[in-house]
Amino acid sequence: MRSSIEVNGKCLEVQWHGPRPEEALTLVFLHEGLGCTAMWHDFPGDLAAATGCGALVFSRLGYGGSDACALPRPLRFMHHEGLKVLPELLEKMGVTECVHVGHSDGGSIGIIYAGGTQALPLRGLITQAAHVFCEDLSVQSIQAARELYLEGDLRNKLKKYHGPNVDCAFWGWNDAWLHPEFMEWNLEEYLPGIRVPLLAIQGADDPYGTPAQAESIVSQAGGEAESLILESCGHAPHRERPQTTLEAMKDFIMNLK
């Protein structure tokens, strides 16, 4: 079911799968830096069905069918999402118990929320390809994406999902990550504050980040934490290794119940 909700004075696109919050644990899907609700495809519904949970999927401001945002984004845009937007969204959607499933930037936002707020509804955190610091590899791949957007067909591919928001989505993400000061960006201070169980999934061949990201997350998390490094897998485990990823997430979630 697709709809929208006003958060922080702006309309966000939301989609719901399965039981409502008063009936079951809610899986909250936090998309990647170029993602949106539609780009999760069937994965949220499949994971909700496999676990008996509900699933809340939404597009952040400037993405998909949500309202546009002002550019350039501040370099702390993920902090704003994790500390301000996400708590308000969960409250307005009536989410009382949840597991966050965050991909790339979404995983980083989940870390900020889990370690930087009271995180009262949170029962567990799953990250895929999350970043807690900026690597040279990340910058190189994001620069390559910029060239594909300007000279290749990346813009047309993304426009299918973001529509009029396509330039807002791309440049808001790309300009921030390529800003010289972003090399100093670091989220490791939030890791000790994460008290819920955590699963960090990372593709061994991720062009946007090395396994050092997952190692840092697991070694510094304040609660029980484990990593899953997938061989022959890049930046999107739920798309590249869907069955393995779904089973790992299912097992993690079922152990929380």
Assign residue 229 the CATH number of its domain.
Answer: 3.40.50.1820
Give how many domains the chain has, as a whole number.
1
Which pLDDT score is estimated for 205?
98
The fraction of the chain above a pLDDT of 70, given in percent, is 99
Cis peptide bond prior to 72, omega within 30° of 0: yes
Contacts of 5 (CB under 8 A, 6+ apart): 11, 12, 14, 58, 89, 92, 93
Q: Give the single-character DSSP code of 238.
A: H
**What phi and psi values does residue 93 have, to the nearest 5 degrees?**
-85, 0
Residue 2 has pLDDT above 90, yes or no: no
Cβ–Cβ under 8 Å, residues 227 and 202 = yes
Banded pLDDT at 257 (limits 50, 70, 90):
confident
- Average pLDDT over the chain, rounded to an integer: 97
Banded pLDDT at 138 (limits 50, 70, 90):
very high
Q: Domain span at residue 26?
A: 2-254
Enter the tokens of residue 187: 């989220």
Verdict on whether the full-model pTM lies above 0.95: yes
* Helix 154-162 vs helix 166-177: crossing angle, to nearest 10: 120
Return d(Cα 40, Cα 30) in angstroms, integer.
10
Cβ–Cβ under 8 Å, residues 56 and 14 = yes
Return d(Cα 168, Cα 110) in angstroms, integer.
22
Tell me the per-residue pLDDT of 11-56, one tens digit each, with 9 for 90 and over: 999 999 999 999 999 999 999 999 999 999 999 999 999 999 999 9
Return d(Cα 152, Cα 33) in angstroms, integer.
19
Return d(Cα 168, Cα 175) in angstroms, integer.
11
Enter the tokens of residue 231: 């061989």
Which pLDDT score is estimated for 1?
64
Q: For the chain, give percent helix, strand, coil, nearest 5.
A: 45, 20, 35
